[in-house]
Amino acid sequence: MTATTTTSLAAQMRDGYKDYGTGEMAVRALDGVSVDIARSEFTAIMGPSGSGKSTLLHTLAGLDRLTAGESSISDIVITTLSEAQVTEVRRNNIGFVFQSFNLIPSLTARENITLPIDIAGDKVDKEWFDEIIGILGLADRLTHLPAELSGGQQQRVAVARALVSRPEIIFADEPSGNLDSRSGAELLGFMRRAVKEFGQTIVMVTHDPTAASYADRILFLEDGKIVDEMRDPSAEKVLDRMKQMGH
C-alpha cells in the first residue's frame, strides 16, 4: 500500500467501535472498523441487514458518536469535539441524502435546495445552481412544494440540496430506495457524474447490487466488520459476493 497524504482523504475512521445498550443487552454495531474515504471517489457500503451499514455511515458523518476509536472529516478529528463543534463541521463539509427525502413541506423546491446555504449565510453560486437544476431536470419544479412533486422529483430536490454548497463529502443512505428503477438509475447516474466531473466525494449505503455497481469501490460489512472490498464493481460481481455472505 502506498502512503497517502492526509489531504487526499475526505473522511477516515480508525478502530471504530459502536455499542448500543449496556450489559447483556449490549449490541456491538461496529467492531473495530478502520476505513479511508478518498476524495473524488464514490464508495458504496453493503452488507446483510444488521451488519452495521447505517451505523458506519452515521458515525463517519458525525450524526452518531463512536463508543471507541477515532473518526475524522477533512482532517478534522470529530471524535473529541463537542456536539456544537460537530454540527459546525457537518454544516461546513457534509451533504446528506436520505431515503426519506427530509424536505421541509412549507418551503418550495428552490427554498429547500438553497436551505443549507441560507442557514450558513452564504451566497448561492448561480451558475452551479443552474447546472445542478439542469442536470436534475428540476427547472420547471422550483416553485412547487414537496407535496406537489413525485417521489423521484423530491429525491432529486434532496440531491440538489446536498450538492448545492459543494460539500467536501456527501453521505447517502439508500438514496434510490423509494424510487422506481428509471428514476433510481437517473439519480445514481447523476451521482456518478458528480464524482467524475465535479470531483464530488460520495459515500452511499445500499442493499441493491445495481445501485452499488455505480460506485468506484464497495466496502462489504458483516457483523460490524469490513470483510471485503471491491473495485470497479459490476452488478453481477456484487450479487455473487452478497450470495457468499449468505444473504
The share of the chain scoring above pLDDT 90, in percent, equals 64
pLDDT by residue (tens digit) across 18-48? 999 888 888 999 999 999 999 999 999 999 8
DSSP 41-61: -EEEEE-STTSSHHHHHHHHT
Q: How far apart are CA 24 and CA 229, in angstroms?
A: 32
Tell me what pLDDT residue 182 has. 85
Q: How far apart are CA 69 and CA 98, in angstroms?
A: 25
Check: CB of residue 201 under 8 Å from CB of residue 37. yes
Average pLDDT over residues 104-117: 94
Higher-confidence residue: 142 or 180?
142
Tell me what pLDDT residue 181 has. 85
pLDDT by residue (tens digit) across 2-25? 444 445 899 999 999 999 988 888
Which domains are assigned to the chain?
8-244 (3.40.50.300)
Q: Give the E-state strand segments of the chain in sequence order.
A: 9-20, 27-38, 42-46, 68-73, 76-77, 94-97, 169-173, 202-205, 217-222, 225-231
Query: Is the full-model pTM beyond 0.75?
Result: yes
Tell me what pLDDT residue 99 has. 76
